[in-house]
Structure 1
């Protein structure tokens, strides 16, 4: 058990250094001897740690050359990708990619939800929009973000497809942090309320294509606002 914790410690430290940009994609990572001295562990422990990162496609071993960092696009560990997204040096690019992922999943979820959503769920959706309005008037960012996230969670669950919810659940912490960043801008809050109302109206009409279009417009507005007011692109 103690040996396993050392392996995790070495792997986690190396991953942290990769995410921080110390070892960018394509660059070699330190050799076994260097890592063993840094952590005061055996080379066998280091070897197991590197195997852990290799199994997740974070690094690759090239025989006779060394161990090299793969680009994040090749990583197969959701946990590692989330850490790179949340802690990496290029937060702006990560934020854009996160919206792209949401756009793919949430537009489809809205389309599925339109014919399935119940009157009770619609009432809950309208309630979250009301809470967003109240929070906007009170300049309460925390309550605004909570209501915003609750709205989208309701749409995902109303889709009736549990896989959609499961896929986005690990992103909940990152989504909350990104929402707090973007929703700190008052005009973005105004746009979000307007777009949520449009999605709500489309779902109330039980029109799948209208619901998909409304959610897509919301995602586009979110992306435009991110670039215009947060990233200043």
Structure 2
């Protein structure tokens, strides 16, 4: 096997153990000799694997002491943070922080979209809202989540800001996974349908501030629903 593949194998295995909790924040990783023996690779391969994690600030090397795991809030790789978040499952703090990020991005997207959204995009939003209502009535969770995600995706693109859509894309995998959990609750679905209807009304009016406030109301309701219906059950 090529050395670069071995380096990736070792770094991925260490990262998997970090997000699994084998090495919590500030814990020391095993020494070079132990890792070399465990993975049956050279010390150079182990060093490069450690450097790969260090480059993303997942770990820090303290000369003379060893290699230690950094807290997630010091990591510099979006992909690694997302992997850790997805592995965390229904971690309450991660769920709350995800909504906080969505609130910052999506309220801005709605504000921009209000003055740029096309008739076809508004029709698309109405179509997705209808799908949400029908799915709610028939208890079709998969269709409901798909329509919900598609609704927000239309607004991101209607904002006309290419950076928003690109920034939001890596979060979509986590959002989709979490949405399936929260949308299992009928009350949350009903709230989402009501809030989405208000967003459409605001966007159709062309008022940037109204659209921003409508999306902010939706995000605030989403946070309340998470804390009321989901986190209390865990």
1:177 is matched with 177
Task: Report deviation, 1:90.
Answer: 6.7
TM-score normalised over the length of structure 2: 0.97
Write out per-residue CA displacement over residues 195-220 of structure 1, whole angstroms, 9 at most, x where no aligned residue. Answer: 10011111011100110011011001
Structure 2: tracts of 5 or more residues without a match: none
> SS of the counterpart of 1:36?
helix
Q: CA deviation at 1:50?
A: 0.1
Q: 1:152: how far off? A: 0.2
Aligned to 2:25: 25
Aligned residues: 233
Deviations 1:147-202 (A, max 9, x none): 00000000000000010000111122111111100000010000000010011111
Q: Is 1:21–1:89's contact at 8 Å kept on the other side of the alignment? A: no
TM-score (norm 1): 0.98
Structure 1: segments with no counterpart, 5+ residues: none
Contact 1:132/1:148 (<8 A) preserved? yes
Q: How far did residue 88 of structure 1 move?
A: 2.5
Once residues 170 and 2 of structure 1 are traced to their aligned partners in structure 2, the CA distance between those partners, rounded to angstroms, is 29
The aligned counterpart of 2:114 is 114
Q: Equivalents in 2 of 1:190, 1:38: separation in Å?
A: 52
Aligned-residue offset at 1:27: 1.2
Per the alignment, in what secondary structure is the counterpart of residue 68 of structure 2? strand
Partner of 1:48: 48
Cα deviation code 1:61-88 (max 9, x no counterpart) = 0111111111111111111000111002
- Residue 103 of structure 2: aligned partner: 103
Check if 1:132 corresponds to 2:132: yes
Would you say 1:215 and 2:208 are equivalent positions? no
Q: C-alpha displacement at 1:91, in angstroms? A: 1.6
Indicate whether 1:156 and 2:167 are aligned: no
- RMSD, aligned α-carbons: 1.1
Report runs of 4+ in structure 1 exceeding 4 Å deviation: none
Equivalent residue, structure 2, for 1:75: 75
Contact 1:19 1:89 survives alignment (8 Å): no
